[in-house]
Structure 1
Amino acid sequence: MAKKAVVLFNLGGPDGPAAVEPFLFNLFYDPAIIRLPTPLRWLVAKLISRRRAPVAQEIYAFLGGSSPILPQTEAQAEALENKLNEGGTDSYKTFICMRYWHPFAADVAQEVKNWAPDDVILLPLYPQFSSTTSASSIKEWQEAAKKIGLDTPTAGLCCYPTMAGLISAYADLIAPKLAEVSGKPARLLFSAHGLPQKIVDQGDPYQWQVERTAEKVVEKMGLENLDWKVCYQSRVGPMKWLEPSTETEIHRAGEDGISLVIVPIAFVSEHSETLVELDIEYAKLAKEVGVDEYHRVNTVGVHADFIAGLAAMVEKLSDPSIRSESGMRICPSGYKDCLMLAS
């Protein structure tokens, strides 16, 4: 029986008001986020985090002062561990590693080393790959593991935008929300976290993968003449971000006189972008611009299909490399940030 450690990566979030500013500093100090030389990046991160902290604290106040992302991820880790240990010959243990707040990679890598697994499997909880999320987390893990001498054979997933369990979970969660719309025709908005346009232009496949996820969900639902659109939320700063924005699409729905069902297509757990931005801020905007009905679909969370899909991918990983859901490169060749440089 082999011992296998499965490390789940997520963004992380402040665990109290005092943690908001250092959390934001860690986020903006990441070279994958602010692409500047170290001394200048430190100054920019310090400035942005200090200025944004009061606004962010107000946002987290709606959530009791802290982010729910850690307990949400803990529930997913427990569900996945239980699924992986259902009658198999290997022994799996899940570990949670957050990128910008506790538990950090350095601490989790030591926990994994102490458990002494035969294999380590890296599992980003970002279905769609980006250099700013999955790649950043995997790089930090590799550095932390090297520093403490954790040289256990390590495999990992870089992305799974069309994984069957993910797609079926979304389809299952969307259907009842569409059924709730009682009046005007409804448009399905797949809202993903935004990204600066220049990062995509430089070779990041995130937008391409988000669009593939949405297409597969629509295909799975099989509804004739379904009105749907991909859009992007959570813009920060003056630079050009991916378009159309979710705000723009909400305004357009008001102008078109239709209702909205909004799907957080790139989030697999609830946090401030879903519970505050989508549920409170965008719901208010929808009402102001005349959207008749506004319904928000839950994230996939611990949906049985999603967890089963994660487990199936983990069980297939063997050789020490980073792979996509199919085991081969899925992104077109122009996306140079893809971790699988060759199929």
Structure 2
Amino acid sequence: MFDATRPAHAPADHPKVKMGRVGVLLANLGTPDDYTYWPMRRYLNEFLSDRRVIDYPAWKWQPILQGIILSKRPFSSGEAYKSIWNHDKGESPLMTITKDQTAKIKQAMQDRYGDQVMVDFCMRYGNPSTKSKMRQMVSEGCDRILFFPLYPHYAGATTATANDQFFRALMEETWQPASRTVPSYYDEPAYIDALAVSVENAYAAMETKPDILVCSYHGMPERYLQQGDPYHCQCVKTSRLLKERLGWSDDQLISTFQSRFGPEEWLKPYTVDHVADLARQGKKKIAVIAPAFSADCIETLEEINEEIKESFEEAGGEQFTYIPCLNDDDTHIRALSKVIQDNLRGWLD
């Protein structure tokens, strides 16, 4: 353990402080504390008030959000969360999985670096907050922190807003730790390999192979792409690299986008519509994977495995297989650990 000591060259009466450790702070989107109305409302208010997520002027958006959306959506979203909730642990699947990922990464870092590295996680929205976990790391002697948003692909509404929150927390520190943020890892070979292994294992367990694999990514308004957000390009490259790693032809894998919100045009094709088109075109057996999510959550367990599945089956689809996110699978943990180790170079070798 790292005990408090006097800084080098400090006078004898200088108070002892903990220092010398490196913190690895994992970050994911977030989760409500419960699926009932008020916890859902607090979570949705924080999430939908983020200008990185909804960039309409506050004078226009906030009356709609506070007066209409937050009076109704907590009920419907709460029902969706209730359908996937981990009732045994009293938390959402995202929270359970993130805890499991953190525990495995912590062990991997300890095996490599010993007590030099402290590993923990935070959420951009909800609890545990970025500020509380960063403060804890500083108090435990972390004078360097590697902040790792668990999004393979960069987007302003995910990676950037997580980084923003981390920087806000740094602004409140009297003695700021040296800090780094982990960039997107959408083309990291170990990540692509982990995706491919998950597909290969899923296909090997099926009696009848799917006609096509649908890579469903979270969507965003098309104008974000025009403004320079690289998300779409990175998603398309991940699909291409996955297809090449699997040794497949172009007609065996497609990319689509889900979770459209609001009246704007979003990235296309829309998953919920396109799977129905596939069924009508004779693709009666499909598999769906969500490469942009590091952990299963409401968008995968409820939206893909219920809403999108229903759209496919109502259009005549016969076999729908959802391939889970990489979650805490050992191939995923090795990929994430490699990304961490690469970004710790110069601090720890």
Provide TM-score, normalisation by structure 1: 0.87
Match of 1:274? 300
Tell me if 1:51 matches 2:77. Answer: no
Tell me if 1:85 matches 2:110. Answer: yes
Tell me if 1:14 matches 2:39. Answer: no
**C-alpha displacement of 1:286:** 1.6
Match of 2:13? none
Q: 2:289 aligns with which of 263, 266, 269?
A: 263
- Determine the C-alpha separation between the residues in 2 that align with 1:71 and 1:90: 25
**C-alpha displacement of 1:134:** 0.6
**C-alpha displacement of 1:189:** 0.2
Match of 1:136? 161
Match of 1:5? 23
Q: 1:63 aligns with which of 77, 80, 84?
A: 84
Match of 2:52? 32
Residue 176 of structure 2 aligns to a residue whose secondary structure is: coil
- Segment drifting more, 220-229 vs 167-176: 220-229
- Determine the C-alpha separation between the residues in 1 that align with 2:169 and 2:318: 50
Flag structure 1 segments of 5+ consecutive residues without an equivalent.
Answer: 322-343
**C-alpha displacement of 1:225:** 5.8
**C-alpha displacement of 1:90:** 6.1
2:54 partner letter: I
Residues 233, 85 of structure 1: CA spacing in aligned structure 2 closer, same or farther, 3 A cutoff? Answer: same
1:4 partner letter: V
2:236 partner letter: E
Match of 1:164? 189
- Determine the C-alpha separation between the residues in 2 that align with 1:314 and 1:306: 12
- Determine the C-alpha separation between the residues in 2 that align with 1:312 and 1:286: 37
Conservation of the 8 A alpha-carbon contact between 2:25 and 2:119: yes
- Determine the C-alpha separation between the residues in 2 that align with 1:294 and 1:224: 21
Q: Deviations over 1:128-164 (max 9, x none)?
A: 0001111111111111121133511111212000112
1:261 partner letter: A
**C-alpha displacement of 1:230:** 0.3
Residues 161, 253 of structure 1: CA spacing in aligned structure 2 closer, same or farther, 3 A cutoff? Answer: same
Q: 1:200 aligns with which of 205, 218, 225?
A: 225
Tell me if 1:303 matches 2:329. Answer: yes
- Determine the C-alpha separation between the residues in 2 that align with 1:202 and 1:141: 24
Match of 1:294? 320
Aligned residues: 321
Q: Deviations over 1:280-322 (max 9, x none)?
A: 222222211111211110101112222112212222224799x
Residue 166 of structure 1 aligns to a residue whose secondary structure is: helix
- Determine the C-alpha separation between the residues in 2 that align with 1:318 and 1:183: 44
Match of 2:11? none
Flag structure 2 segments of 5+ consecutive residues without an equivalent.
Answer: 3-19
Higher relative contact order (CA 8 A, sep 6+): 1
Q: Deviations over 1:14-65 (max 9, x none)?
A: 1211311111111111111121344544434324333321110111120238
Q: 2:309 aligns with which of 283, 291, 314?
A: 283
Q: What does 1:185-264 correspond to in 2, within 5 Å? A: 186-224=211-249, 227-258=252-283, 259-264=285-290
- Determine the C-alpha separation between the residues in 2 that align with 1:204 and 1:225: 26
Match of 2:7? none
Higher Cα radius of gyration: 2
Residues 72, 183 of structure 1: CA spacing in aligned structure 2 closer, same or farther, 3 A cutoff? Answer: closer
- Determine the C-alpha separation between the residues in 2 that align with 1:154 and 1:225: 41
Conservation of the 8 A alpha-carbon contact between 2:190 and 2:334: yes
- Segment drifting more, 186-195 vs 222-231: 222-231
Q: Deviations over 1:182-207 (max 9, x none)?
A: 45851110001111111121111111
